A and B are shown apart, each in its own frame.
Chain A
């Protein structure tokens, strides 16, 4: 098989690829990011590259216009090298280094924040505790063994029925006890009903007790380094989930894990790599020795947890959708490759089912809906829209496959809430004037979820789209125009953008968004009807998700994504998954609560629910076919 050198610009990284490889394969080999939603199936058309030098063979597809082909554009997933080639990755196909508005806390409280457990009425008792012990030395009268002596000393401090420790600790124990003159610090980790002596150190190091709370998102991964003793967040970091190169949504990745040789390993390594990098960054920033990080708590959806723990995920996507585990007992972090103290423990937030994971349990904990007497609803808008309804007596939940539209997927100029994303839109003068707010005040490169919610609601408001979300005729306003691919609305003209092309919204984009919002609303609708209640019975509605820092609640109601409840009842709570994880790592009480919540939640499966399709098609309208459900909008 012929081998060629493939060089990627602007990085200049080169790699040897065979004639069988696609340029997307080569980019992965070279560690160069090329945007791809479908993972190389020639469906999404996002992996646009420009072949600068050399020959490629390009498989047939219809995803580029004639003009683009003429100017050298090719799809990386469809192109195979036929000589040494130089390929440029244009700006729209590149990944920004980091997402900047991942988590409110990450920005606002970096290095300073204290988690206020009292606000949540939890006792401060971290999952991993360090206690300083002054142990009475042995004598002929008191001749217990070193290990029994240690356990006895621990029991005088804490009430622990069953204790265990590893062989390595027992081997080191006699020396440490004597070298420290019987004054030692002991690290105790909770493992279900037992307590493990994780580490024994000479002297008093009980002030150096650190853990990391990790939100393992399908799109974004966030790490907070926490001083477990002081309940203080020391440093934060966030990055894209590198698994994105293998597919944008969980289903594509599940297929990749199953169908590709080595796929499962690659997915596992990708997420472990992300987490280790961020643990390194945060400990370095806070001046913390990795040895003193003895605890990692992860909240993620069930699929992400499978990839993280390298579990067999192949039954998740097949009826009857059975995961390997939803509640994984603590394991050694090092066993899965997470680099903290080698005897440190990795905890996972328990989930409910294949499609309602620990991220939601965590969100329920953070929102507090499980202990409030009033009826509340939590909606986490992501690729899967997860919804929980309940109060201190009961909880029901469901998960509606919403698609990645609100995260920028399946939208021509869609992108995540990062540099250059249009996050707010106002449309004026019958569609002639568009005012935008772009993240970091840059020239726009695309539009993110909150901007997409705005634009749908605004276009409807000025009549550019009707209630079926179809464009008016071109000529309705100058920004509405007909192209070979249909009608499109110009959000920003080429001169005003960072990519030198007009940023437009197409009819298929709008159709995808409508499908997404309909799925979320239909899920909520089925769920509330399953308990014989109505939206008007809700006292509180919490919205969570990666919308960045801004979400126009009124717009979200106007397009029928959220039910029409008074705005004062609605609260945007950002990354609730991470907030729940932070509570749990700092309080055993909170972490036990997570298990109670997971057990308490009744899962309603929508895929087998006959009413879901009916609700879904009613919701495919702006705001909804049953206008009377949206009195404030119509």
Chain B
């Protein structure tokens, strides 16, 4: 029987993160994502050359309120970013996502210099490419990110996020220091395009942008993320250059906010072992969003990373 094959006109952009010595950086290896000419896992339809890459999230400060399973994995190192970074790589991170939470005015208000110091320490400690994520406070990010960008100059990091109302400073920094950029949009395909247009009109290459469409956790709006990602991807494969970018998902952050993942056994005795439940929730969320067309997944728990990886192996074998 002949199978019905969808033919797309264009491909998702290919993006390589990290720079080795030869490329002017200090990374031991680079990570390449994107490049597919079809929807995920449909190898019979087209090329799907680069499977999704897993980044593990770490903070520049000790997190508060991370539930027990995460504390078990990181509590002994999370006061020291360099140690945390090494631990994450041991857990299988292909990239690290350094979240500069501590620079937020409400979460420590650390200085741009301190943030740059953290990034330098992490770069020294590990050899994987970095994603560097601002605190989300526009004014503070506009102070911090240029310094951080400069500190990581030449390392070909992925910096985020540029949003519709605040994209100029970050775009200028990434241009100056040779980084890639994350364009963020709140579950809105129009705004995703608009952010990409705004960034590219500053002279930034469309091929160097990653889309962050905002992530919803399993049970908490994941279907919105899924349909927006899928719509964006099909548009990108159908010739819309403004939507042909790889997509990043913050699965760890969102999954570990929901009570199904973090609620204690005492509060929810019928839900089973928290140590299994949380990681399972995170892995399921990751697997689903990768199906919608995600290329980079930012995760937290080592067990979730492990099970998602084995799933990927099965699917890509």
Residues of A within 8 A of B (CB): 466-468, 470, 614, 617-618, 620-621, 625-627
Contacts and interface: CB of A to CB of B under 8 A. Distances in A.
A621 B194 contact: yes
Nearest to A627: B197
A625 B190 contact: yes
Contacts of A468: 164-165, 194, 198
Interface string B219-242: 000000000000000000000001
B190 A467 contact: no
A620 B197 contact: no
B165 A621 contact: no
Contact of B198 (A467, A618, A626): A467
11 contacts: A466-B198, A467-B194, A467-B201, A468-B164, A468-B165, A614-B190, A617-B191, A625-B190, A625-B193, A625-B194, A625-B197
A151 B302 CA distance: 100
A630 B56 CA distance: 42
Where chain A touches its partner, the secondary structure class is loop
Given A468-B164, A470-B165, A620 B190 contact: yes
A626 B238 CA distance: 14
Interface of B is mostly: helix
Nearest to A626: B193
Interface string B45-83: 000000000000000000000000000000000000000
Contacts of B198: 466-468
B185 to A, nearest CB: 11
Contact of A617 (B165, B188, B201): B188
A26 B237 CA distance: 64
Contacts of A620: 190
Contacts of A614: 190
A121 to B, nearest CB: 45
Contacts of B165: 468, 470
User: Interface extent on B, as a size class?
Assistant: 10 to 19
Contacts of A617: 188, 190-191
Interface of B: 164-165, 188, 190-191, 193-194, 197-198, 201, 242
Nearest to B192: A625
Q: Which of A467, A468, A614, A617 has the most CB of B within 10 A?
A: A468
Given A468-B164, A470-B165, A621 B190 contact: yes
B197 A467 contact: yes
Contacts of B191: 617
A627 B196 CA distance: 12
A627 B198 CA distance: 12
A617 B188 CA distance: 9
Contacts of B164: 468
B9 to A, nearest CB: 14
Contacts of B201: 467
A467 B242 CA distance: 15
Contacts of B242: 627
A618 B197 contact: no
A467 B188 CA distance: 17
A514 B190 CA distance: 15
Nearest to B239: A628
List of 10 A-B pairs having minimum Cβ-Cβ separation, nearest first: A617-B190, A625-B190, A625-B193, A618-B190, A621-B194, A625-B194, A468-B164, A467-B198, A467-B197, A468-B194
A354 to B, nearest CB: 29
A617 B190 CA distance: 7
Nearest to B241: A628
A466 B197 CA distance: 11
Contacts of B194: 467-468, 621, 625
Nearest to B188: A617
Nearest to A617: B190
Nearest to A466: B198
A621 B193 CA distance: 10
B165 to A, nearest CB: 7
A625 B190 CA distance: 6
Given A470-B165, A626-B193, A627-B242, 20 more contacts: A466-B198, A467-B194, A467-B197, A467-B198, A467-B201, A468-B164, A468-B165, A468-B194, A614-B190, A617-B190, A617-B191, A618-B190, A620-B190, A621-B190, A621-B194, A621-B197, A625-B190, A625-B193, A625-B197, A627-B197
